[in-house]
C-alpha cells in the first residue's frame, strides 16, 4: 500500500491506498491504531487508477504527505538486473565503438581462440558455429561461442545489436546461456568448449547487457526480439533464458514453473533452475514458490538476486524476505536480508522483524530503522503488544518524547510516559561551576596542547646480568606434575645419542626431556622445541621445573605463540629478556595485560632492576614499554632507581609523578549512542543533573580511560556524582550498546561497567555471562568476569564465584575460577575462604527473618529448611504470598514489594550456588576451623538451613549434625561438644563407615531432606590390582554415548583440546593436589558436530601428570572418580 500521513496541531493520522486490478482498498485512522479499511470495485483497471489519483490529490490538498515505501539505495543499483516495469529505470545505451572493440579483441586473442577451436575436446557443433561466424556466416550460436571466447563482455552484446539487430542479440544471449569455455590449471589456461549444464550460472555480463537493452528498447524494437526468443524456447534451458531476458512476461515464468515440474531433474539441478527464475519473479507469490524449493536458497543468497527481486516486486517482497529469517541461514545471507528489510520504512518491515527479534542482528536492525523512521517505529512498537517490544517502546519514547502525544498509547505505556516526565520535572541542570573540571574543559579538545618536556637520556646504565627461576612454595613440584608422559624403559645414553643424531620422533624426544637424566641433558636443552606438542605450555612448565635457568630461552621462545594463554609459564622466570617481553606486551597486547601485571607484581624488585636502565635510556619503543611497566610497581621502581644513582632516581621520580597523557584525538562515539535514552547523572547529594551538553564528554572520558578507575579524571567524576545514578547511566548505556549488536569498536561501554557499576549492575550482568558462551561469545563472557571483578562489591564477587561454581560451559567456569583465585590472593585469602565471606545475608536478622514495611502494614519474611520464603502478617498468620501494595499503603510500599521480589530471586540463586559449593567441599574434603564453622556456616542466616540438613565430621572422625536450635548432636542424638580447636568438614559416606545407616534412619525420623545426595551416596573402591596400576582396565573398551560423556563435563571433567581435523581425543579430570585422570576416546568427538562419529569407545582410562598409581588417591576422590566412570554405563 502507498501511505500518506498528517501530523501536527494535535492531529496524527495516516491514509493508505492500494490498487489491485479494478479494485481499490483504502485504510485510514489515527497513528498507533489499526485503523479501518474498505474496498471498492470499478469497471476497469483504468477507472480504478483514475479514482486513486483523485483521492490522492484530495488528501495532499488537505496536507497529507507521502511516506515512501521504498527508495533504492544508490549502492544497490549496480546489483539490480533491470527490467521493464521495475522500480529502477534502465539507462543502457549501445556503445558506438563496440564492433571495432570486438574486432580488436578477436585479433589480440586469435591464437587462443584457434587453439580452443582446434582442441579435440571442444564440442563439434560449437566449433562449427564459431568457424562459420568467422567466415561471414553469422548465427546466434556462432556469435554466442565467439562472445564466450572473448570473455562474455557487455561489448559483445553491443556489437551484436549494431551488426545484426536486437532480435539477433536476444537469440545470441539465449545461446550464451548454454556455452562454457572450460579452463585447466585452476582456471588459468583456456582449454575447450562445451555445453553448459543447467545448474551453472547464466548471468554473464553479455547476457545481462542484452536484458538491460531490452528493458529500455522501444516496442518496435522489442517485439521482434520477443517473438524470436519465444519461438526458440525448445527446451528448459532456452525457456529459462527467455524468462531472464523478458521478466515482464510473467506468463512465461508460469510456463517455466510447469516445465520444471514436468522435467525429471536431480534435486541440485532443480534448485538451480528455480534459482534462475528468481531473477524474473514479478510477484511475492511467485518468489515464495521459488524459495520453497530445496536447494534454491544458495542461488538466491546473493546481493544481485535479492536486489533484483526487490526491484521487480517492490514492497510486497518484505514478508517473503522476512520469512527467510526463520531458516538456518549463513551469516552473510542473514545480514543481507536484514540490510534489505531495513530500507523499507513500512509497517510490514517493522512487524516482520519485531516478531523475529531473537534472530541474530534483528534487534540492531530494528533500532536503526527506528532512528531513521521514528513515527512508523512508534506506531509499530505500540501495535506489537509483545513483552519483548516493551523496552524498545520505552527507549523510543525517551528518545522521541515529542511523539508521545501523536499516537494513541496503551494505558501502561501512557503511565510510563507520565512517570518519565515527572522524573525529569524534578531534576534540573547543574550549574557549570558545580561540574567536575574534566567535563567542562576536557584535555582532548585543547587545540594547542603543551609539548612534553624533552626526556632526559642517561647513557652507560646497564641492567644486571641475572637469570633465575624463583618458585613459590610447592610451585616447582606442581609444575613437575603438569605433564605426564610414558617413561621409556631404555638405556638413557643410547637415547641421548639417538637424539643427537636426529633419530627420535617428537614423542620420543618429549619422553627423553620429561624423564631423562637432568645433568646429561642440560647441554641439549637449548635445542629442544616445546612448541611441537599440542600441550606446549604444560610441557614447557615441566622442562622449566627440571632444568630451571637453562630452560628460560625455551619458555621465552614459546611465549609469543601462547600470548595470553601462558598458564603462568612466565611468572617464576627472572631475566632481562623476560622483563622486556612483559613490558612490551603490557603496552601492545590487551590480551596479556593480566599476565604482565601478575609478573611485575610477583617480581617487582627484579623487574625494576631490569627496566630502570631502559626507562632512563634512549627514547623509543623500549623506553615507552619500560616506563609503562614501572608505573605498575611505583614503590619498587623508585627504590631501585636510587641504586643507579641520583640522576636515574630523579628521572624515574619525574616519570612516576607525571600523569599519563590522554590521547589528543578522542574516539568518535558510535551512531547507536542516543543521549536522550540515557538516564540523568545526578551530582552527589542533589537533584541536579549533568547538563545534556556535557554527557558526550563523559562518554568520551569513559572511552579513553580503560577498564579500571585508575584514571584521575574518572575518579573525579565518581567523587562528584551520585553513585547510584552513575550505575544506572552505565547500565542503560550498556543495554543500548547490547541491543544495537555490541559494536566491537565501542567495547569500552562494557568495561565501563567495571568503573561505574554497582550491585544492580552485577545482578544484571551475571545471567548474560552465563548465557554468552552458548551463543559463541566466550571472549565477551571472559570480559564480563573482569567487569565483575572490577566492580568488586560482595554481590559482584558472589556472582563471579557463582559462575565459578555452577555454569554448564567448562571454559568460562575455569576462567571464573582463575579470576576468583586472583581476587582471593589479592585479599590474602584462598578461593574457598573468599567464597565463605561472599554469601550475602540479604539483610536478614539473627532470627533469619526480614521485615517488609508498607507503612500501614508490616510483614515478616522467613525461610523454611529448603530456603523457600514464607510470609507472616502482623498477627503471625502465614500468607500465601506477600500482598501487592494497595491504595492505602504508604509511598514505600511499591519499593518494599520490589525488594521482596528481588529477595526471592537472590535466595533461589544463593541456594543453588551454595548446594553446589557444599557438595564440592565434601568431594574435595575441605575443612573449616571450628570457629569459622560456627560463624560462617552455622551462624549465617541462610546457610544455617542447608547446614542443618547435612552430616558433619571432625578431622579425628567424629560425626555430628546441627540441630534446629544451633546445638550439635551425634548419631545417637546426644549432645556433641565441638572442641574449639577442632577442624570440621562435610562428611562423605567414606568417613562415616558403619554409621551411615544410623544417620540415614535418624534423618528419616526427623524428616530431614538433604540438599544433595550425601547419606545415600554409593561408595566405590579400587581393587587391589588397580591400586598398584595407573590404568583402570575395567573401563577399557567400554562403549559410551557422547551425551553421557558431556554429562561428566558438567562436573569435574573437562573436554580435551581439539587435535587434527578438530577431533577431541580425550576427556580429562583434574585431581586434588595435582595430576589428572584421562579417558582416551575412539574415534574421538568432532568439535561442532559431537554426534557425527557415533558412540565413543574408551581406549584407556589412566593417570597422568605426575601420578604413578591409583593408591595415591585419597578414598573420597577414589570413590567419586569410580562413581563418575560407572555413570557412563548405568
Give pLDDT tens digits for 175-212. 998 888 887 755 556 688 888 765 455 558 999 999 99
Per the CB < 8 A criterion, the answer to whether 492 and 516 are in contact is: yes
Contact between 45 and 22 (Cβ < 8 Å): yes
Long-range contacts of 973-980 (CB under 8 A, 24+ apart): 973/1002, 978/930, 978/933, 978/934, 978/954, 979/930, 979/954, 980/930, 980/931
Bridge partners of 879, per DSSP, are 871
Cell 535466595 belongs to 907
Q: Could you tell me which residues are beta bridge partners of residue 820?
A: none
The alpha carbons of the chain give a radius of gyration, in whole angstroms, of: 38
Note the pLDDT of residue 72.
81
pLDDT at residue 199 in the model? 45
> Which regions in the chain score pLDDT beneath 70?
1, 31-34, 68-69, 185-190, 197-203, 406-407, 446-452, 481-490, 533-535, 563-566, 659-665, 706-711, 1059-1061, 1106
Q: How far is 548 from 468, CA to CA, in rounded Å?
A: 8
Q: Could you give the CA distance from residue 696 to residue 377 in angstroms, rounded to a whole number?
A: 25
Burial 723-753 (b: 16+ CB within 10 A, else e): eebbbbbbbebbebbebbbbeeebbbbbbbb
What is the three-class DSSP state of 1039?
A: strand
Predicted confidence at residue 82, as pLDDT, reads: 94
SS3 state of residue 1018: coil
pTM: 0.67
Q: Does domain 2-67 have CATH number 3.30.565.10?
A: no
Give 380-421 as a DSSP string: HHHHH--GGGHHHHHHHHHH-GGGGGTS---HHHHHHHHHHH
The residues spanned by each domain of the chain are 2-67, 84-246, 388-425, 467-657, 675-837, 850-1005, 1024-1126
- Summarised one tens digit per residue, pLDDT across range 247-264 is 999 999 999 999 998 888
The gap between the terminal CA atoms of the chain, to the nearest Å, is 63
- pLDDT at residue number 444: 74
Q: What pLDDT was estimated at residue 662? A: 47
Amino acid at each position: 500500500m502507498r501511505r500518506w500521513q498528517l501530523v501536527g496541531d494535535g492531529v496524527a493520522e495516516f491514509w493508505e491506498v492500494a490498487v489491485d486490478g479494478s479494485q481499490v482498498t483504502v485504510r485510514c485512522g489515527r497513528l498507533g491504531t489499526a485503523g479501518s479499511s474498505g474496498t471498492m470495485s470499478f469497471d476497469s483497471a483504468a477507472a480504478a487508477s483514475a479514482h486513486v489519483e483523485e483521492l490522492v490529490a484530495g488528501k495532499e490538498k488537505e496536507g497529507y504527505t507521502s511516506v515512501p515505501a521504498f527508495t533504492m539505495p544508490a549502492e544497490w543499483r549496480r546489483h539490480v538486473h533491470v527490467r521493464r516495469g521495475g522500480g529502477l529505470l534502465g539507462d543502457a545505451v549501445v556503445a558506438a565503438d563496440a564492433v571495432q572493440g570486438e574486432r580488436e579483441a578477436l585479433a589480440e586473442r586469435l591464437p587462443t581462440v584457434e587453439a580452443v577451436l582446434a582442441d579435440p575436446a571442444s564440442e563439434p557443433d560449437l566449433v562449427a558455429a564459431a568457424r562459420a561466424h568467422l567466415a561471414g556466416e553469422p548465427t546466434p550460436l556462432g556469435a554466442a561461442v565467439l562472445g564466450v571466447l572473448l570473455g562474455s563482455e557487455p561489448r559483445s552484446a553491443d556489437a551484436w545489436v549494431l551488426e545484426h539487430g536486437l532480435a539477433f542479440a536476444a537469440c545470441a544471449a539465449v545461446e550464451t546461456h548454454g556455452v562454457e569455455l572450460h579452463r585447466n590449471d585452476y582456471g588459468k589456461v583456456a582449454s575447450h568448449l562445451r555445453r553448459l549444464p543447467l545448474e551453472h550460472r547464466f548471468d554473464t555480463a553479455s547476457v545481462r547487457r542484452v536484458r538491460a537493452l531490452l528493458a529500455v528498447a522501444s516496442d518496435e524494437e522489442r517485439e521482434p526480439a520477443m517473438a524470436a526468443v519465444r519461438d526458440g524456447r525448445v527446451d528448459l534451458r532456452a525457456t529459462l533464458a527467455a524468462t531472464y531476458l523478458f521478466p515482464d512476461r510473467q506468463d512465461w515464468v508460469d510456463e517455466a514453473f510447469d516445465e520444471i515440474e514436468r522435467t525429471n531433474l536431480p534435486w541440485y539441478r532443480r534448485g538451480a533452475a528455480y534459482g534462475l527464475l528468481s531473477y524474473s519473479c514479478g510477484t511475492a507469490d511467485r518468489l515464495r514458490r521459488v524459495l520453497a524449493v530445496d536447494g534454491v536458497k544458495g542461488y538466491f543468497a546473493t546481493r544481485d538476486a535479492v536486489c533484483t527481486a526487490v526491484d521487480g516486486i517492490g514492497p510486497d517482497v518484505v514478508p517473503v524476505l522476512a520469512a527467510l529469517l526463520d531458516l538456518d541461514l549463513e551469516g552473510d545471507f542473514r545480514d543481507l536480508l536484514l540490510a534489505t528489510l531495513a530500507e523499507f520504512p513500512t509497517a510490514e518491515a517493522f512487524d516482520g522483524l519485531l516478531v523475529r527479534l531473537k534472530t541474530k542482528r534483528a534487534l540492531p536492525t530494528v533500532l536503526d530503522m527506528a532512528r531513521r523512521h521514528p513515527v512508523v517505529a512508534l506506531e509499530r512498537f505500540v501495535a506489537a503488544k509483545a513483552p519483548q517490544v516493551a523496552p524498545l517502546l520505552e527507549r523510543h519514547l525517551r528518545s522521541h518524547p515529542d511523539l508521545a502525544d501523536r499516537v494513541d498509547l496503551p494505558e501502561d505505556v501512557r503511565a510510563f510516559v507520565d512517570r518519565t516526565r515527572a522524573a525529569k520535572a524534578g531534576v534540573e541542570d547543574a550549574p557549570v561551576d558545580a561540574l567536575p573540571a574534566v567535563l567542562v574543559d576536557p584535555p582532548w579538545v585543547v587545540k594547542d596542547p603543551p609539548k612534553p618536556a624533552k626526556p632526559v637520556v642517561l647513557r652507560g646504565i646497564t641492567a644486571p646480568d641475572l637469570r633465575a627461576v624463583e618458585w613459590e612454595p610447592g610451585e616447582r613440584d606442581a609444575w613437575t606434575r603438569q605433564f605426564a608422559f610414558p617413561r621409556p624403559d631404555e638405556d638413557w645414553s643410547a637415547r641421548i645419542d639417538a637424539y643427537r643424531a636426529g633419530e627420535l620422533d617428537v614423542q620420543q624426544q618429549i619422553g627423553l626431556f620429561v624423564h631423562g637424566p637432568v645433568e646429561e641433558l642440560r647441554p641439549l636443552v637449548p635445542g629442544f622445541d616445546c612448541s611441537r606438542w599440542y600441550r606446549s605450555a604444560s610441557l614447557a612448565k615441566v622442562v622449566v621445573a627440571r632444568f630451571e635457568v637453562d630452560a628460560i630461552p625455551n619458555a621465552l621462545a614459546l611465549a609469543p605463540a601462547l600470548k595470553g594463554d601462558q598458564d603462568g609459564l612466565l611468572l617464576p622466570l627472572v631475566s632481562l629478556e623476560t622483563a622486556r617481553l612483559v613490558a612490551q606486551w603490557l603496552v601492545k597486547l590487551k590480551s596479556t595485560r593480566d599476565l604482565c601485571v601478575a609478573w611485575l607484581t610477583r617480581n617487582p624488585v627484579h623487574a625494576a632492576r631490569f627496566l630502570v636502565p631502559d626507562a632512563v635510556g634512549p627514547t623509543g619503543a623500549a623506553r615507552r614499554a619500560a616506563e609503562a611497566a614501572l608505573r605498575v610497581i611505583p614503590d619498587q621502581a623508585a627504590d631501585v632507581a636510587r641504586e643507579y644513582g641520583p640522576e636515574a632516581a630523579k628521572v624515574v621520580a619525574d616519570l612516576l609523578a607525571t600523569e599519563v597523557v590522554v590521547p589528543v584525538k578522542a574516539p568518535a562515539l558510535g551512531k547507536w549512542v542516543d543521549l536522550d535514552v540515557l538516564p540523568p547523572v545526578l551530582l552527589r547529594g542533589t537533584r541536579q543533573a549533568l547538563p545534556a551538553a556535557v554527557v558526550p564528554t563523559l562518554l568520551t572520558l569513559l572511552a579513553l580511560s580503560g577498564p579500571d578507575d585508575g584514571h584521575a579524571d574518572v575518579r573525579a567524576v565518581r567523587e562528584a556524582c551520585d553513585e547510584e545514578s552513575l550505575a544506572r547511566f552505565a547500565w542503560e548505556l550498556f543495554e543500548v550498546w547490547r541491543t544495537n549488536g555490541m559494536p566491537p569498536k565501542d567495547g569500552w561501554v562494557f568495561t565501563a561497567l567495571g568503573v561505574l557499576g554497582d550491585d544492580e549492575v552485577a545482578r544484571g550482568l551475571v545471567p548474560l555471562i552465563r548465557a554468552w558462551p552458548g551463543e559463541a561469545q566466550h571472549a565477551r563472557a571472559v570480559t564480563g568476569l573482569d567487569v565483575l571483578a572490577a566492580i568488586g562489591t560482595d554481590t559482584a564477587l558472589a556472582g563471579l564465584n557463582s559462575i565459578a561454581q555452577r555454569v554448564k560451559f567448562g571454559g568460562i567456569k575455569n576462567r571464573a575460577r582463575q579470576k576468583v583465585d586472583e581476587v582471593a590472593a589479592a585479599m590474602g585469602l584462598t578461593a574457598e575462604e573468599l567464597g565463605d565471606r561472599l554469601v550475602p545475608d540479604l539483610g536478614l536478622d539473627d532470627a533469619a527473618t526480614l521485615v517488609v514495611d508498607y507503612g500501614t502494614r508490616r510483614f515478616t519474611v522467613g525461610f523454611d529448611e529448603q530456603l523457600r520464603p514464607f510470609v507472616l502478617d502482623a498477627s503471625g498468620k502465614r500468607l500465601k504470598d506477600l500482598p501487592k501494595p494497595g491504595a492505602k499503603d504508604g509511598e514505600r510500599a511499591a519499593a518494599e514489594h520490589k525488594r521482596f521480589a528481588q529477595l526471592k530471586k537472590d535466595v533461589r540463586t544463593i541456594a543453588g550456588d551454595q548446594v553446589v559449593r557444599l557438595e564440592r567441599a565434601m568431594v574435595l574434603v575441605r575443612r573449616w576451623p571450628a570457629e569459622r564453622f560456627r560463624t560462617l556456616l552455622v551462624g549465617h542466616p541462610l546457610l544455617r538451613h542447608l547446614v542443618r540438613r547435612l552430616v558433619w565430621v571432625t578431622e579425628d572422625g567424629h560425626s555430628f549434625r546441627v540441630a534446629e536450635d544451633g546445638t550439635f548432636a551425634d548419631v545417637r542424638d546426644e549432645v556433641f561438644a565441638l572442641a574449639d580447636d577442632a577442624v570440621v568438614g562435610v562428611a562423605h559416606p567414606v568417613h562415616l563407615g558403619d554409621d551411615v545407616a544410623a544417620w540415614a534412619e535418624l534423618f528419616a525420623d526427623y524428616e530431614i531432606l538433604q540438599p544433595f545426595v550425601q547419606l545415600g551416596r554409593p561408595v566405590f573402591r579400587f581393587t587391589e590390582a588397580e591400586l598398584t596400576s595407573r590404568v583402570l582396565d575395567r573401563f577399557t573398551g567400554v562403549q559410551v554415548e557422547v551425551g553421557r560423556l558431556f554429562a561428566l563435563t558438567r562436573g569435574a571433567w573437562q573436554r580435551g583440546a581439539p587435535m587434527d581435523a578438530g577431533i577431541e581425543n580425550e576427556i580429562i579430570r583434574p585431581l586434588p593436589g595435582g595430576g589428572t585422570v584421562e579417558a582416551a576416546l575412539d574415534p574421538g568427538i568432532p568439535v561442532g558436530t559431537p554426534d557425527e562419529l557415533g558412540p565413543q569407545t574408551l581406549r584407556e582410562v589412566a593417570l597422568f601428570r605426575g601420578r604413578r598409581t591409583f593408591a595415591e588417591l585419597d578414598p573420597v576422590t577414589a570413590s567419586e572418580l569410580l562413581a563418575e566412570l560407572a555413570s557412563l554405563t548405568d
